[in-house]
């Protein structure tokens, strides 16, 4: 689980759970583009077709799409951790 400290407006700090973290290995990517097709809000492709990670900490609403992208990646270049 990942934590971040964010300041309150009045001086204190609060801990916020970030949840899922996505990692994309561009050296392993073969440019199939399945990630960008099923989770375009999280992934894109550069001019060479390699994965670009747009959002490493997706909202809960995007977690299913992130897991689908992981399962469809033929190179296993994408992973998620909690």
Structure tokens at 60: 């809960």
CA 33-63-17 angle, 5° bins:
130
pTM exceeds 0.85 for this model: no
| pLDDT exceeds cutoff 50 at 20 | yes
Q: Residue 75 in contact with residue 30, Cβ under 8 Å? A: yes
Q: What does the alpha-carbon distance between residue 23 and residue 80 come to, in Å, rounded to a whole number?
A: 6
Structure tokens at 25: 């290995």
Q: What does the alpha-carbon distance between residue 41 and residue 60 come to, in Å, rounded to a whole number?
A: 13
How confident is the model at residue 2, as a pLDDT? 46
| pLDDT exceeds cutoff 50 at 9 | no
Q: Residue 5 in contact with residue 15, Cβ under 8 Å? A: yes
Query: Going from the N-terminus, what domains does the chain have, and what CATH number goes with each?
Result: 20-81 (3.30.70.20)
């Amino acid at each position: 689980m990942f934590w971040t400290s964010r300041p309150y407006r009045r001086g204190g700090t609060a801990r916020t759970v970030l949840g899922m973290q996505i990692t994309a290995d561009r050296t392993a990517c073969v440019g199939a583009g399945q990630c960008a097709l099923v989770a375009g809000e999280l992934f894109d492709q550069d001019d060479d077709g390699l994965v670009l990670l747009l959002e490493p900490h997706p909202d809960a609403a995007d977690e299913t799409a992130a897991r689908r992208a992981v399962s469809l990646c033929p190179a296993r270049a994408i992973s998620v951790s909690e």
